Chains A and B, each alone.
Chain A
Amino acid sequence: MLEVTGLTKRYPTGDLALKGVDLTVAAGEVIALIGPSGAGKSTFIRCINRLVEPTSGRVRLNGEDITRLKGRALRRARRRMGMIFQEYALVERLTVMENVLSGRLGYVGFWRSWWRRFPPEDVAKAYDLLGRVGLAEFYDKRADELSGGQRQRVGIARALVQDPELLLVDEPTASLDPKTSRQIMRLICELCRERQLAAIINIHDVVLAQMFVARIVGLRDGEVVYDGRPEGLTPEVLTRIYGEEDWTAAAPSARAQARGGPETDEERLEGLV
């Protein structure tokens, strides 16, 4: 459903962030994009919804070429792609409900959004999603009153209320503690399964990626250097992605955890916290 071919991004400073990336994501497929800081993960997903303009290459969403869209057509394409951010990126002075409803902005006219008069179906949908992420009673709280994990749940609800076909997730757990990180990753993956949503999850925590995601893509210096199952992340592969380091400790235990599945992980976590 998502086809990226030859995606290249050169910033005005001359930095070549992406060097002809090819990637295909099937409907309902969740992939984790791993790689060191500066590998181009953020740039990659921002080139897909055109928050960053790609220099060359092509992005097709269900056959439609996103890279050539302008104005209204681009906004329509963006509303089909929900985005979740590292620092949650909630509008802090708005309420939780307003933040979630901002996910509907692509569907309503200006004056309706100005007066916060969203269609009742939208409000109901937003409320249901808040319930699904476990924050039903928080709807009139201001976003800056919430904890990190709660904010990220609101961010997830905002992305899902768009009725997206694809989720673009940028380091969803980088600002969270280990337990909350796992809960958030689990929630995102569950929601993708429930709704048959495709997702690209940028994440620098390799263990977390292996635990929840069946396909892992490794990016280094703007190039894909690995694309396969989480079990394939041998120390040699990790060295190829991240550079020289002693990976023997990380890789086998991570593989063991991945085989154990989320249940075992949950138990281990309860013991830890």
Chain B
Amino acid sequence: MSSSAAAFDARRWRPPPLVRSARLRWLIGLGFALYLAVALGTLEINWLRVWEGLDRGWAFILAFSEPDFLTRWRDIRQGLLESLTMTVVSTVVGIALSVPVALGAARNLAPLPVYLLCRGLIALSRSFQEVIIAIFFVAMFGFGPLAGVLTLSFATIGFLAKLLAEDIEDIERDQAEAVRATGASWPQWLVYGIQPQVMPRLIGLSLYRFDINFRESAVVGIVGAGGIGATLNTAFDRYEYDTAAAILILIIGIVMAAEYTSSLIRARIQ
């Protein structure tokens, strides 16, 4: 009968809580509940207006139930092709730019100044939404797909370089060390010690970014950066909801097809 065994009560045992102090635990819970109540209180909901909106929404959906692919088919086709081209070009350019940035942004590869520079570039790219970057590039280079391609390439860096850099930082160190021990040069070390370890992730992220870039190409078109978004915007401006519906259906179809294909490929390379 030791004293520690006496202090332990098998029936009262519970796993230690996330927040140790009971007072702090209650304080956090109460604070959260209070905030929620106050936040809900500040919402001014006009239920009459919501009711009317439901009605209008239904009319909208009805208008969309008869998509018209034919009347503006030439415009739609051109917009889609432009969007696909923008997607392919911006994804390829984006990857080509992201890989060196990712190498520089991996703390286990790059010296501190290079690391800070590359991390800064990534932060810059991530801090702006695509539409804002698109507005900026449209202002610089005028309407059209060039602004869109630049936007999407720049946005790709923020996404791909960041996630790739994190994967590089997570590599198995001893594999890379073994390659260094053979007398490999730095580029050889990258190709044998690092690249095989991050390749599945790079391919997966690139395919995923391809999807995103296609979707975003439709959005940036609305602010004049070319692609199917521009066609969609025109259709809305002309109150041609049936054409707009057709465009939306095509975008959804292509995004789903791309996502399905990329998930198949990603599953195979693991």
Contact = CB atoms under 8 A, between A and B. Distances in A.
Contacts of B184: 75, 102, 105-106, 113
B4 interface: no
A158 B188 CA distance: 16
A230 interface: no
B175 interface: yes
B104 interface: no
A180 B174 CA distance: 22
A90 interface: yes
13 contacts: A78-B180, A78-B182, A79-B182, A81-B181, A85-B177, A86-B174, A89-B172, A89-B177, A91-B192, A92-B172, A113-B184, A158-B178, A162-B183
Given A110-B187, A113-B192, A90 B182 contact: no
Contact of B178 (A79, A85, A93, A107): A85
Given A81-B181, A93-B199, A168-B181, 5 more contacts: A49-B181, A89-B177, A90-B175, A102-B182, A105-B185
A94 B182 contact: no
B85 interface: no
Indicate the size class of the contact surface on chain B: 20 to 34
Chain B facing A: main interface SS: helix
Nearest to B173: A89
Given A105-B192, A113-B191, A91 B175 contact: yes
Interface in A59-89: 75-79, 81, 83, 85-87, 89
Contacts of A158: 178, 182
Interface in B175-222: 175, 177-185, 187-188, 191-193, 196-197, 199-200
Contact of B182 (A86, A92, A93, A103): A103
Nearest to B192: A102
Contacts of B183: 75-79, 105-107, 162
Contact of A75 (B172, B185, B191, B196): B185
Contacts of A110: 185, 187-188, 191
Interface string B145-174: 000000000000000000000000000101
Contacts of B180: 51, 78
A93 B174 contact: no
Contact of A105 (B175, B179, B197, B199): B179
Contacts of A155: 178
Contact of A51 (B181, B192, B193, B200): B181
A79 B200 CA distance: 30
A90 B181 contact: no
Contact of B179 (A49, A92, A102, A168): A102
Contacts of A90: 175, 178
Interface in A12-43: none
B182 A89 contact: no
A108 B29 CA distance: 64
Given A93-B196, A94-B196, A105-B192, A87 B174 contact: yes
Contacts of B181: 49, 51, 78, 81, 83, 168
A66 to B, nearest CB: 12
